[in-house]
Amino acid sequence: MYECGWGSCIRLELNYHIQKCENDQAQWVVLINGLFADLESYQLVANYLKGSFHILRYDCRGQGKSPKPDGIYQLKDHVDDLEGLLNDLEIKEANFLGLSNGGRIALQFASLYPSRSLRVVACDTYDSPSEILKLKLASWLKAYEVGGAFHRFDVATPWIWGESVVQAKPELIESYRAQATSLEEHVLKGLVLGAMESSIEIEKIVCPILFIVGEEDLLTPVYTHEKMKKKCQLADVRIVQGGHASILEFPHSVVSEILPFLEGQL
């Protein structure tokens, strides 16, 4: 069963997509996009999960068909939006799977709403923006100022995509590059500047966490995930194929790592 619509959240109405499992008692999994993606980016991931869970995908503010207001899209805004959407849809508790900035949203939500958070899968993400990460992200803004949307994408590509996917799936890279011009300047700045702010007290998270990191992730490398694991009460790190967008590059890791975790097998 499918449902699409607009959720009237605390601040914005977010575009969302629901896919219900045949088992009415199944748990929910909420998929939270990476910084420049939309809910369609999770199609293959959702295909692997749909037999076991109810699935909610949505466009964060600035993404896809959701509103794109002026200003910096701060982590608090994203978490407030998510809480409002869950309230509208009467989802009391859920598992959360987030990629990159989506991982940050999932972690922050779990730290603030422990009773609503069953498990968290945080992929290729970070809990606090380091100075080196800020320099990487700032270079994307500078690239846009100098050469526009395609130049921004080309500068960001080595940080986002792993060498293996660039070689094996050039059509995937090109499909995302073709979408680069659809990102308005104020949205690009709002997303990137928001990603450079705020730290998460992940030590307060009480639910199990699985950190997934691509072995070729240069933006948020393996060692940053290992540091996060040490701060958490119940956490594990799994290194998978790919770069910073590992589960989009090689979504089979959903079957080998993520699905067993969400089903309580790990």
Dump pLDDT digits (tens) for 116-135.
999 999 999 999 999 999 99
Q: Which CATH number is 103's domain given?
A: 3.40.50.1820
The residues with which 31 forms a beta bridge, in sequence order, are 57, 97
Count structural domains, the chain. 1
Q: Is residue 151 part of a domain?
A: no
- Region 17-44: mean pLDDT is 95
Q: State the pLDDT at residue 11.
A: 57
**What average pLDDT does this structure show over 60-83?**
95
- pLDDT of res. 265: 74
pLDDT in tens, 193-246: 999 999 999 999 999 999 999 999 999 999 999 999 999 989 999 999 999 999
Q: Please check the confidence at residue 42 and state whether its pLDDT lies above 80.
A: yes
pLDDT of the residue at 20: 95
- Contact 123/97 with Cβ under 8 angstroms? yes
Q: What is the pLDDT of residue 12?
A: 77
Domain that holds residue 92: 2-128+200-262
Question: For residue 176, is it within any domain?
Answer: no
pLDDT of 6 strictly over 80: no
Q: Which of 6-15, 153-162, 217-226 has the lowest mean pLDDT?
A: 6-15
pTM above threshold 0.85: yes
In a domain, residue 136? The reply is no
Mean pLDDT score across all residues of the chain: 93
